[in-house]
Structure 1
Amino acid sequence: MKKTFPLDIEGKHRDRVLDATKHEIRKYIKRQLRVPLPEGVDYWDWDCRFGSSADTAVVAHYAAITKLIDEIAATGAPSFYIELVAKNGVRSAKPAAPAQD
């Protein structure tokens, strides 16, 4: 998903538009998580970018998206850009802990 979400829409309350955009993002994530995993892949990982526009978007952590949306809405920005791209994730083994005597 690469999309610019407007927050100021004529005839709609800004808070309702904000809730609708969060719902659309969550719905996209749930839909992507239902896609079968390719062979040798453990989970879906995400490449995320977020900003007030596509040009100013910076890399963001997937778990912080909702907080970033709330922060940009609090500043009064008319829109925001989000880029969520699913990628393959492979779990790595934890290093073995040294044996304690």
Structure 2
Amino acid sequence: MKKTFNITGTTHKPDRQVELVKHEINKYLARERRKAVPAGADFWDFACKCGANSNSATAILVTEFSKKVDEVAANKPDTIYVEIIAKPGTREKKSSD
């Protein structure tokens, strides 16, 4: 998902619009996690970016989305850019030392 969310040009107040953005991100992540994992993979991993626009977006962990969206929204931008790319991931076996 590569999407630019409009914060100021909607019928909702900006604070409420930020909450709607976070809700849509969580819905998308849940939908992607429900998909069947390809053979040879253990889980779905996500390559994520977030920022005021596509040029200023920085790579983040999937667990940091809520904080990053709040951080970007604190600067009062007109838009928030979100990029989430699902990719199959494999777990590394721990070495027994």
Return the TM-score normalized by structure 1: 0.89
**TM-fit CA distance, 1:49:** 1.2
Q: Distance in 1 between matches of 2:10 and 2:54?
A: 23
The alignment status of 1:93 with 2:96, answered yes or no, reads no
> RMSD in angstroms over aligned alpha carbons?
1.1
Identity over aligned residues, as a percent? 36
Which 5+ residue runs of structure 2 have no aligned equivalent? none
**TM-fit CA distance, 1:10:** 4.1
Aligned length: 97
Give the match's secondary structure for 2:95: coil
Radius of gyration: which is bigger? 1
The alignment status of 1:9 with 2:9, answered yes or no, reads yes
Q: Distance in 2 between matches of 1:32 and 1:88?
A: 11
Aligned pairs (5 A) from 1:1-101: 1-97=1-97
Give the match's secondary structure for 1:17: helix
Which 5+ residue runs of structure 1 have no aligned equivalent? none
Give the match's secondary structure for 1:9: coil
Q: Write out the 4+ residue segments of structure 1 that deviate beyond 4 Å after TM superposition.
A: none
Q: What one-letter code is carried by the residue in structure 1 that aligns with 2:28?
A: Y
